[in-house]
Amino acid sequence: MIRAAGPRGALRGAYERIARIYERANVAVTLGFVDRWRREAVALMYALARRPPLRVLDAGAGPGNMALHLRRPAYVVALDATPEMLRANRVAGDRVAGVLEMLPFRDRSFDAVIAGYSLHAVSDMERAVEEFGRVAEYQAVVSIGRPESRVIGRLVELYARYAMPVLACALAPGRGCREYAKIALAVSSSPPNSWLRVLVSSRAELLAFKERALGAIYIYVARRR
């Protein structure tokens, strides 16, 4: 079994403490691109899907920013491991506490799974991708990746470790903004983007795979075989 290495417990705790400032801080640390990449992933799904998805699972939904880009009508179920994030979600029709590696839904319950900046935080990436394919026909994912270049990868890791907390605190001051330093754990322990591409292709039909921010961000759309 292939697993994404690295500690994730500290990262989950960090998300609990940044729930109030989550989106403001994300805007700062991505220099304003965070929502553009979400929108791109959802638009790519609509462009490649055989029919518009009407039943959508927002996996690792947080406050629901990814689902805001869905076309209506769409019935959305938000799933997140962090109750603080779910309480802030006003987009979904239903909210469910859970983890991506063990989705509490029957096979083929949804037309699509969307996941905005959540796949990098799982403890077992292979299991999460399998679960996406089990419960839905399509997957549309945008998340933090690792560039193939060691030099660029190191620069991305340094940015996550030192610059992201400063930018987050500047736009969203408070104790929680310092938790962004822990996101460096996800950057340093994430597998290369090429590894993820192979993983998804082995579990589904990979329709598109794109890299943004020099490979620090990846976007993919896949369909169940």
Give the orientation angle of helix 22-29 with respect to helix 34-48, to 10 degrees.
Answer: 90
State whether residue 84 is helix, strand or coil: helix
Q: Is residue 105 part of a domain?
A: yes
**How many domains, the chain?**
1
Question: For the ranges 29-43, 83-97, 180-194, 198-212, which has the lowest average pLDDT?
Answer: 180-194
Q: What is the chain's percent helix, strand, coil content, to nearest 5?
A: 50, 20, 30
- Does the pLDDT value for residue 4 go beyond 80? no
Assigned domain for 193 exists: yes
Extended beta strands in 30-104, E state: 55-59, 75-80, 94-97
- Whether 77 maps to a domain, the answer reads yes
pLDDT band at 5 (very low <50, low <70, confident <90, very high): very low
Per-residue pLDDT, averaged over 30-38, amounts to 84
Residue 169 in tokens:
């605190």
Residue 134 half-sphere exposure, CB side, CA atoms within 13 Å? Answer: 14
The reply to whether 24 falls in a domain is yes
Residues forming a β-bridge with 80: 97
Q: How is residue 198 written in tokens?
A: 């192979």
Instruction: Say if residue 19's pLDDT is above 70.
Output: no
Q: Is the pLDDT at 8 greater than 50, yes or no? A: no
**pLDDT(189) > 90:** no
pLDDT at 46 over 80: yes
First to last CA, the chain: 21
Domain holding 114: CATH number? 3.40.50.150
Q: How many residues does the chain have?
A: 225
Domain assignment present for residue 90? The answer is: yes
- Does residue 155 lie in a domain region? yes
**Structural domain for 204, as ranges:** 9-223
Q: For 111-132, what is the mean pLDDT?
A: 94
In a domain, 52, yes or no: yes
Task: Answer yes or no: is pLDDT of 170 > 60.
Answer: yes
Within-domain flag for 2: no
* pLDDT, mean of residues 180-202: 82
Number of helices (H) and strands (E) in the chain: give both, helices first: 9, 7
Confidence at 159, pLDDT banded by 50, 70, 90: confident
